[in-house]
Structure 1
Amino acid sequence: MSEEIITHSAEETIQWGREFAKRLKAPFLVLLTGDLGTGKTTLTKGLVSGLGAANENDVTSPTFTLVHVYGQQARVYHADLYRIESFHDFETLGLEDMFAGPAVAIVEWSEKFPLPSPWPMVRVRLEHLGGDSRRISVSDSV
């Protein structure tokens, strides 16, 4: 099953993420792809908020820390693999903790994610359409 939506602002992208999050049940892996500035972190704000793990304003890009963990009961991992150059770099992230218990994991730059997932997953591609408009394409959908 696939789905495509066009949003026209950051607020619409966050809102779509909140709605989409209602379909996610841990354990689940959300693989995000798209060029720089396409809204991966903006979408993640909506997903994390929609899952009840954190306020959208508390969700920031983990570009430098590489992994953020939100929530107590319902854990949500947010990983950014942009700076990952090799499998060794990936191994140093400690993402095995992510798979230790049921959680939702959101991975930006997921084309660099080298492991098969033991969890159900969805691929979400974001494309910049000019201005604040984005195309969000979902495949292997929930």
Structure 2
Amino acid sequence: MTDPTPGPRGTAHEPSVDPWKGLRGIMAGTLVLEAIVIGLVLTVIARLDDGAHFQPWKVWFVSLLAIAMLVASGLQRKPWAIPMNLTLVALAVAGWAVHWSMGVSGLLFATVWAYILFLRRDLAGRMAGGYLPSQHD
């Protein structure tokens, strides 16, 4: 049996609380917010230019994407959650075909997801190095 690697605050152990749980909550909350914003695109395409953009395929695309984001918010424990989230945000950016405002919203959320991925990498590094306070309880 090997001893755990000593960290900056002494010998580290497994975190007493699950640090990934908080990150999964952030990801789920981001998906809910993104679904709300994407759903509001329906009002944009319905009102602009007297409804000229309100075509059936656009309504279906926006509605299904918003619903998929809400469903995905409950699936953040799955190992394939990150690729699913990135696919959904890529579809939001591709929504530029629906209306440019949807594409801009998708780009804004893409930057949010890039930051979440940075936080995920940072958290993994801190866990590996023994820098989390919950590793020294």
Q: TM-score, normalised by structure 1?
A: 0.28
Bigger radius of gyration: 2
Q: Indicate the structure with greater helix content.
A: 2
> When the two structures are superposed, what TM-score results if normalisation uses the length of structure 2?
0.29
